[in-house]
Amino acid sequence: MTLDEAIAAFVRYLETERRASSRTVEAYSDDLRGLAAFAKERSPEVLGDVGAVDVYLLRGWLGRLARTLAPASVARKVAAVRTWMRWLRRRRVIETCPAEELATPKVRRGLPTLLSVDAAKEVVEAPRPDTPEGVRDRALLELLYGSGLRLSELCGLDLDALDLRAAEARVLGKGSKERVVPLGARCVEALTRWLEVRGQLVSPRRPGDARALFLTSRGRRLYPRGVRRVVQAYGALGAGRADLHPHALRHTCATHMLDGGADLRAIQELLGHASLSTTQRYAHVSMEHLMRVYDAAHPLARAKTKK
């Protein structure tokens, strides 16, 4: 099997059998195409036989990447190639998996961006209610912070996903897994107001987008780039944080729930995490917050700092 055929077959597997998201498929495809481009330059003979890909070629490729990419990006590419070659070995396309010999770069995982309760409130309440776009922005900010939705989940919402009477929404998460998330009273109120004015943005020229919950001023489905711009704009306006991104509101939602007494299992269910270990990260974030408050407020902590 040629290198290109092996990559194409794996991408088809991701799309049809794994039913991976379009972003996941695109990421794997980009990483493997990058390897193919390097192989064409360094070892053209590999192009005709994927079994000729060895650890020396892989190390050379990663060595080049390490000159320009952050360790986290290189680690992702190592994981992509390893997954691909393990799949080829299971299919008996190759006999060994040289990617197993690759060392994964150490990635220092920083704490996620967080807002205080007051700052989050200011961001969510920043949109003006006198335009359809402002009403829309208030509703989507309430959803991001109030229900901890991922950006892709928010953009994928259709009208029939909402049940405002039951105060819940059906969300399609990672791996096409559906879950139901609760909607707070303020979120239900904001969504109700948005649905009252949403018709002003519906365009007869965009019938395919008529089902989308959130629309642009031209009647198109609101996509991730547009949501990022919205969050950045109100982050700057409401909290002086022009670098605010949608995922930060998801992190903030989880941390504020933990601080408010929610257990990790409940937060895991809300966020749609497959593993509790992912959710446990917020326990560390909350402890960092607690220590900062302690150092700033406790007299013994202040006395120690002055020494």
Q: Which residues are catalytic?
A: 150, 174, 247, 250, 273, 282
- Cα–Cα distance measured from residue 140 to residue 155, given in angstroms and rounded to the nearest whole number: 9
**Nearest-angstrom CA–CA distance, 279 and 275:** 7
Picking from 248, 244, 227, the residue whose alpha carbon sits closest to that of residue 235 is 244
Backbone angles phi, psi at 214, to 5 degrees: -110, 130
- Tell me the CB-side half-sphere exposure of residue 24, using CA atoms within 13 A: 19
End-to-end CA, the chain = 69
Burial (0-12, 13-18, 19+ Cβ within 10 Å), 262: middle
Q: What distance in Å separates the CA atoms of residue 139 and residue 201, rounded to the nearest whole number?
A: 15
**What is the strand order of the sheet 168-172 is part of?**
162-163, 168-172, 178-182
- Which residue type sits at 225? R
Using an 8 Å Cβ cutoff, are 184 and 146 in contact?
yes
